[in-house]
Structure 1
Amino acid sequence: MGVTIHDVAARAGVSVATASRALSGQRGVRAENRAKVLAAARELDYEPNVVAASLRSRTTHTIGMVVPRIANPFFATLVESIETQLHDGQRSLLLATSHYDPEVEQRQVRALLDRRVDALIMIPCHRERSGAALTTAAARIPVLQLDLRVDGFAGSWVGVDNEAGLWQVVRHLTERGARSLVFVGAEPTDSAAQARLDGYRRAVGDGEDVLLGDFSKEWGQRAAELLLQRGALPDGIVCGNDTIALGVLGELTSRRVRVPEDVLVTGFDDIPYAALAQPALTTVRQPQQQIAAEAVRVLDARLAGEETALRSTAITPDLVVRASA
């Protein structure tokens, strides 16, 4: 016969109820007793019956998460930050990808609901069409929008203040002596693209110069080609994210345009590749650990019934000045 919860409780010198609460990550267990129970479980190589525990508690200790594209370095590191926060509370993350397709997103949300996740963290891929998937999930479990959001959806959101980040970029370039700027961003199909475009326009005022495509390196390369075809480059190129900026830098370098001597270039997000670019990219850093911690805190409060009011939390990002501007 295998090791049971009774064996773990006896080894730890606590009641079976205390051992059960400690192993399931519930509150109301003293830190000393929790440590004893976890140590006893390791020593005895105890494997809890997860299915039975879920049926008893009506919770699976899992959180679902849907992201537009895991290959995007920003989303990948944000997922890792969320997973770290959840593991601290002995919970698991079930991850799904929408591939920027609202219909796929809807199917992924339904699949996570079928897996009986306790709550859903969603980075909606479209600022309008993702509303159906969010509504479906919110009717059954607590839902949190992360980073991106759906227009008009009544739900909590945690992300970064995109407009504040663009304001910092424009001010920095102006202080560096830039008088002519171009914004290379994405068509505003998601909320970040819209907020960054709005932030740029508010920061520069009248006469803004804007090129819009998507959040890809390929679009950054194409945008740089278009700017070179004009004959005279602007003083600064403000990119909507780091991936675009890496494409711009690559194309300019291949054309023997010097950065920052001939033109200043900035990004947004501070993905891991930003510091490795040639030259290293000046960008806006999203505080992902802080964003993840706040997101999990909001969900925990909802799950515990401690917070029912919907809230939007916009965290101010930091400008990271490197060699490109």
Structure 2
Amino acid sequence: MAQPRYLDIADRVEEQIRAGQWTESNFPTVRNLAREHSVSIVTASRAMQALRDRGLIQIVGRSGAYLIPPTPTKAKAWAAWLRLTPGPFEHATRSMILSAFQRHAESLGGDIRSDLFPEKGNLARTAVDTAVESLQAEGVLGVLLLPSRVSTIDTECELMLIERCQSAGIPVVLVERNLRGAQRELPCDLVSSDDFLGGVLATRHLQEQGCRRIGFVSSSPTSSHTTRMGGYLAGLIPDAASQDPPQMPVVLWQDPTQPPREAYQRLAQQALDAELDGMICYQDYTAVGLIMELMKRRVRVPEQISVVGFDNLPISEAYAVGVTTYAFPYPAIAAQALRMIEDRRTRPSVPPLHVVLRGELVVRESSNRSEREKNSQKGPQ
């Protein structure tokens, strides 16, 4: 059965409005509409009323009809809180991570909001509630959290935020590591680099370069450090067992509360005391600091001690001796994290997931003994 004529007219005008044909300045009057569609004033008036009921126009007494401006579509937004350890390259590292997330967010028609959390410091209990209210008011789809690795106070704040967000229906995805603490259960989803594989590849690389006394530097009770050390042990054992006497693992610890320069001096001396010829550091900052301390002591890097780091941070290429490092897959991590937020929004009751993405070992001067040997054999050019 055909619908009334006034609804046909209303449908056609609605199509024209959505196509941008009509504006507030040229929208037709009832008489113009009646004339254009060859109908009575009554039929045209009923068509106008139908458009008003659909929220497309506003009828103001004898002044006529006016278009209601469409409500602008709010861009997708995700919040990011990157709790990086303070250091000289902290800003550069933050920018690199945020850039990867921002590029992927823009490809989805959205934006990463890093202004909704303090860049440094914690949130008080009341401030956590206020922050979650702000997330809701801004229509944030989810939170990307790179947890602090420094203190239990930081962790308590993060755990409180996760709980409040979950109660508000806002998914939280951890980036790279779980909350600080040994053997801690996942409170929410986590996406990380394959840190275990990174430890294995770094160890095998040093073995291939001729290193036979390889140590590992860790710092905090976090999942990323523990897993990287696990990869080191897995890569070390087959080669170490074949030695006579067998090589025992050597694990050194950097105190995160100690001034960096003092920590690097201590690590360099421990490496020399243990007669190490290869070292794997839990991240690139420590690798660079260690290399500098070794060179001050006239230890040749990589000929006497080779050094490998993690994450491929900006500092890894900032000096003459580039740092061999297991690169963090920033673009893939960003894409996966936003995908996990979307999945969590549709399936909130699924147990927390941990997705691991493969990185890449980037070989540079700090460990590449074979390249150094080739260059030394060539002599001056």
Q: TM-score range by the shorter chain?
A: 0.7 to 0.9
In structure 1, C-alpha distance between the alignment counterparts of 2:125 and 2:96, rounded to whole Å: 23
Matched with 1:61 is 76
The CA deviation at 1:121 is 1.1
Cα-to-partner distance string for 1:7-65 (whole Å, 9 max, x where unaligned): xx96964799xxxxxxxxxxxxxxxxxxxxxxxxxxxxxxxx99x75xxx8x7733221
Given the two structures, how large is their TM-score scaled by the length of structure 1? 0.73
Instruction: Rate the CA distance shift 1:225–1:14 in 2: closer, same or farther, 3 A.
Output: farther
Runs of 4+ aligned residues of structure 1 deviating over 6 Å after TM superposition are 9-12, 105-108
Instruction: Rate the CA distance shift 1:173–1:82 in 2: closer, same or farther, 3 A.
Output: same
Matched with 1:176 is 209
Instruction: Rate the CA distance shift 1:264–1:243 in 2: closer, same or farther, 3 A.
Output: same
Q: Give yes or no for contact 1:182–1:237 (8 Å, CA) kept in 2.
A: yes
Instruction: Rate the CA distance shift 1:236–1:297 in 2: closer, same or farther, 3 A.
Output: same
Query: Aligned runs of 1:234-313 on 2, under 5 Å?
Result: 234-303=276-345, 305=346, 309=350, 310-313=352-355
SS of 1:104 mapped into structure 2? coil
2:228 to 192, 196, 202: 196
Instruction: Rate the CA distance shift 1:254–1:282 in 2: closer, same or farther, 3 A.
Output: same
Q: What amino acid is aligned across from residue 225 of structure 1 in structure 2? A: Q
Instruction: Rate the CA distance shift 1:207–1:104 in 2: closer, same or farther, 3 A.
Output: farther
Matched with 2:41 is none
Matched with 2:378 is none
Aligned-pair identity in percent equals 24
In structure 2, C-alpha distance between the alignment counterparts of 1:97 and 1:67, rounded to whole Å: 9
- Residue segments in structure 1 that go unaligned for 5+ positions in a row: 1-8, 17-48
In structure 2, C-alpha distance between the alignment counterparts of 1:15 and 1:288, rounded to whole Å: 46
Query: Aligned runs of 1:98-247 on 2, under 5 Å?
Result: 99=120, 103-104=122-123, 109-115=128-134, 116=136, 117-126=140-149, 129=156, 130-140=158-168, 141-150=170-179, 151-188=184-221, 190-205=222-237, 207-214=248-255, 217-218=260-261, 219-228=263-272, 230=273, 233-247=275-289
- Whether 1:87 and 2:128 are equivalent positions in the alignment is no
In structure 2, C-alpha distance between the alignment counterparts of 1:106 and 1:66, rounded to whole Å: 17
Instruction: Rate the CA distance shift 1:182–1:97 in 2: closer, same or farther, 3 A.
Output: farther
- Whether 1:317 and 2:359 are equivalent positions in the alignment is yes
Cα-to-partner distance string for 1:245-285 (whole Å, 9 max, x where unaligned): 01011111222211111111111111122123331111101
The CA deviation at 1:132 is 2.9
Q: Give yes or no for contact 2:215–2:249 (8 Å, CA) kept in 1.
A: yes
Instruction: Rate the CA distance shift 1:105–1:176 in 2: closer, same or farther, 3 A.
Output: farther
In structure 1, C-alpha distance between the alignment counterparts of 2:159 and 2:186, rounded to whole Å: 7
Stretch moving more, 137-146 or 71-80: 71-80
Q: Give yes or no for contact 1:64–1:112 (8 Å, CA) kept in 2.
A: no
Q: What amino acid is aligned across from residue 163 of structure 1 in structure 2? A: F
Q: Give yes or no for contact 1:186–1:193 (8 Å, CA) kept in 2.
A: yes
Instruction: Rate the CA distance shift 1:286–1:240 in 2: closer, same or farther, 3 A.
Output: same
Across the aligned residues of Structure 1 and Structure 2, the Cα RMSD in angstroms comes to: 3.2
Instruction: Rate the CA distance shift 1:147–1:108 in 2: closer, same or farther, 3 A.
Output: farther
Q: What amino acid is aligned across from residue 254 of structure 2 in structure 1? A: G
Q: Give yes or no for contact 2:145–2:172 (8 Å, CA) kept in 1.
A: yes
Instruction: Rate the CA distance shift 1:292–1:106 in 2: closer, same or farther, 3 A.
Output: farther
The CA deviation at 1:111 is 4.2
SS of 2:276 mapped into structure 1? coil
Matched with 1:39 is none
SS of 2:310 mapped into structure 1? coil
In structure 1, C-alpha distance between the alignment counterparts of 2:127 and 2:177, rounded to whole Å: 17
Q: Give yes or no for contact 2:310–2:325 (8 Å, CA) kept in 1.
A: yes
Instruction: Rate the CA distance shift 1:204–1:256 in 2: closer, same or farther, 3 A.
Output: same
Across the two proteins, how many residue pairs are aligned to each other?
274
The CA deviation at 1:241 is 0.5
Q: Give yes or no for contact 1:184–1:220 (8 Å, CA) kept in 2.
A: no
- Residue segments in structure 2 that go unaligned for 5+ positions in a row: 1-15, 24-68, 238-246, 368-381
Instruction: Rate the CA distance shift 1:272–1:104 in 2: closer, same or farther, 3 A.
Output: same
Matched with 2:370 is none
Given the two structures, how large is their TM-score scaled by the length of structure 2? 0.63
Cα-to-partner distance string for 1:271-301 (whole Å, 9 max, x where unaligned): 1221233311111011101111111122234
